[in-house]
């Protein structure tokens, strides 16, 4: 515990927190129906639930066109793909669409290996994904 100087103690992060890989997720509202969810770092079993929360919050707030930008991810796994499939399914129930920005050939290979390249609208950059969702 460390003192804040105001008589309050704040916990110091534990060793397990210090070893957790980098992960971040940020939302960018494009317009009333479109949102970009930008993901960075490692998206795995531990971080995928946070990605899922951002996607479901966007859908619940009325967004029907969502772009998931995985350009800055360093790792994705089957948990990540499962979150994307679930979000796509939920969007389709509301006549919505999900696009993925994935310029990395190795990550694209994961989509191809699983056949999900035929399920998702995958684009090399954000502008291309936005144009595809608007058409």
Residue 100: count of CB within 10 angstroms of its CB: 23
Domain ranges, ordered by start, for the chain: 22-134
Partners of residue 36 on adjacent β-strands: 28, 67
Is 36 within 8 Å of 126 (Cβ atoms)?
yes
- pLDDT, tens digit, 9 for 90 and up, residues 74-133: 999 999 999 999 999 999 998 999 999 999 999 999 999 999 999 999 999 999 999 999
Residue 91: count of CB within 10 angstroms of its CB: 19
Q: Phi then psi for 120, rounded to 5 degrees?
A: -95, 150
* DSSP-derived secondary structure letter, 121: E
Total-model pTM = 0.85
- pLDDT, tens digit, 9 for 90 and up, residues 3-61: 444 444 443 333 345 677 899 999 999 999 999 999 999 999 999 999 999 999 999 99
* DSSP-derived secondary structure letter, 12: P
**Helix orientation angle between 48-60 and 78-93, rounded to the nearest 10 degrees:** 10
Helix, coil or strand: residue 55 = helix
Q: Which sign, positive or negative, has the C-alpha torsion 83, 89, 94, 99?
A: positive
CA distance 73 to 42: 6
CA distance 26 to 12: 25
Write out the CATH class of domain 22-134. Answer: alpha beta
């Amino acid at each position: 515990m460390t003192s804040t100087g105001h008589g309050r103690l704040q916990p110091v992060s534990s060793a397990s927190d210090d070893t957790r890989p980098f992960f971040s997720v940020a939302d960018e509202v494009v317009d009333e129906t479109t949102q970009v969810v930008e993901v960075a770092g490692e998206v795995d079993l531990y971080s995928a639930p946070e990605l899922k929360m951002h996607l479901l919050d966007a859908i619940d707030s009325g967004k029907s066109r969502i772009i998931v930008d995985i350009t800055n991810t360093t790792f994705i796994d089957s948990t990540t793909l499962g979150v994307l499939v679930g979000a796509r399914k939920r969007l389709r129930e509301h006549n919505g669409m999900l696009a993925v920005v994935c310029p990395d050939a190795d990550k694209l290979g994961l989509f191809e290996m699983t056949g999900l390249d035929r399920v998702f609208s995958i684009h090399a950059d954000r502008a291309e994904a936005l144009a595809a969702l608007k058409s």
